[in-house]
Amino acid sequence: MLAIFLAPVYILANVFTAYWLLRWMKEVHPLFRHPAVLGVILVLYAFLALSLLTSFVIKRDPVHRILKVISNCWLGMYLYFLGFTAILVLLRFIFAHTALTKTWLYSPMGLKAVGLGAILFVTGMCIYGMVHAVHIYTTRYEVPSKKDAHLKIALVADLHLRYSIGSHQMEEMVEKINAEEPDVVVIAGDIFDNEYDAIYEPDRVADLLAGLKSRYGTYACYGNHDLDEKILAGFTFETKEERIADRRFGEFLDRAKIHLLEDDVVCIDDAFYLAGRKDPDRIRKTQETRDTPSELLTGLDQSLPVFVIDHQPSELTELAEAGADLDLGGHTHDGQLFPGNILTGLMWENACGMKKVGDMYSIVTSGVGLWGPPMRIGTKAEVVIIDYGK
């Protein structure tokens, strides 16, 4: 529903950027003043700007898949082009109303140079973001414990298996995790990305995940995107009807040998507890209920470590008070694109990294996959390795 409300804003923003793009191009070379050339440029711009809508409307592959890739790339690049255009227009306004109007930067030649520099910089930054996004890093944390336990935990989240995240990334992720020889692997939600059909070669991807090796196996909870629903420009549509999860999600997890925990607690090898929470946004759509931290963790033997998998890093104080020793989450992507990491830092108590809350440690990963644009700028895709009790 939010996508519909944002549509007028998106249209106005594109009118703004298209106007200044054409104005700059006319200054660069007389060729861009020719009606036929302007027409081609406007048609190409309209194709890219409307790819968010056309990829939503056209469902037939391979056209749908191609349009989704184009629209995701466009969205990421456009956000930066819009930002830089707004900054340059603001600076031009300031120059025009001060003595700076007499400087070279305010001249036609200055407009050409600054515009070209901005385009090259944004293009280069976005290319870097796309290349950087496909590489998975390893992040390590040491968590002290008063309890008699020493465990190595591999944490990943936000796989977002879909058009731009597939077997290549999963193969690299599995190799990195297996090289660490962890005791247990946990996936903190958003395994899928709203569309099961968006997964390229799902059986191959599931078999790769089934190759994860650890002493006690792989456990996961669902996230807010682990639900098959219509999605436009990254936003879903609200409905009063109960939504039912695609049965193929469960079949995929079975094939991948991933144990799903939905408000469930398991005691593993009499060594530690592992609890998986339902996602608050997902259950609102499926019209389910979710246990409170105290309801979920009541009656546990507190001499054993209590680990919680919770997609969204919320209710940290409540989890600590309920007896959790370690809360493992994702969801934030650490903002994914700068300055998103600054904004998420303001929105969440622990947006990314490790933080002590009471006697509990919260660890939030920036995730492996991507939401929307296939790029990361100022953040990284990661596998988190936790040495607990070291």
Task: Give the model confidence (pLDDT) of 358-377 as tens digits.
Answer: 999 999 999 999 988 999 99
What is the average per-residue pLDDT within 82-87?
A: 93
Q: Is 299 exposed, middle or buried (0-12, 13-18, 19+ CB in 10 A)?
A: exposed
Q: Is 18 exposed, middle or buried (0-12, 13-18, 19+ CB in 10 A)?
A: middle
At residue 331, the pLDDT reads 97
Between residues 284 and 159, the one the model is more confident about: 159
Helix (H, G, I), strand (E, B) or coil at 193: coil
Residue 300: CB partners within 8 Å, gap ≥ 6? 265, 273, 306, 323
Residue 241 identity = E
Q: What mean pLDDT is reported for the chain?
A: 92
Q: How many helices, marked H, and strands, marked E, lie in the chain?
A: 12, 14
Helix (H, G, I), strand (E, B) or coil at 137: strand
* Dist. CA 151–CA 305, nearest whole Å: 10
At residue 59, the pLDDT reads 86
* Res. 242 pLDDT band, cuts 50 70 90: low
pLDDT at 55 over 60: yes
Q: How far is CA 33 from the centre of its chain?
A: 41
At residue 102, the pLDDT reads 75
Residue showing tokens 């007389």 = 30
Q: How far is CA 10 from the centre of its chain?
A: 21
pLDDT at 190 over 80: yes
SS3 content of the chain, % helix, strand, coil (to 5): 45, 20, 35
Find the range with the poorest average confidence among 45-49, 106-110, 260-264, 379-383.
106-110
202-210 and 167-180 helices cross at what angle (nearest 10)? 0
Residue 142: CB partners within 8 Å, gap ≥ 6? 386, 387, 390
At residue 379, the pLDDT reads 96
- Distant-in-sequence contacts of 258-261, Cβ < 8 A, 24+ apart: 258/187, 258/191, 258/209, 258/218, 258/219, 258/220, 259/217, 259/218, 259/219, 259/220, 260/219, 260/220, 260/221, 260/222, 261/219, 261/220, 261/221, 261/309
% residues pLDDT > 70 (the chain): 95
Between residues 98 and 212, the one the model is more confident about: 212
* Dist. CA 358–CA 325, nearest whole Å: 10
**What confidence tens digit (pLDDT) does each residue in 326-362 have?**
999 999 999 999 999 999 999 999 999 999 999 999 9
Answer for the pair 327, 310: CB distance below 8 angstroms, yes or no.
yes
* Residue 41: other Cβ atoms inside 10 A: 15
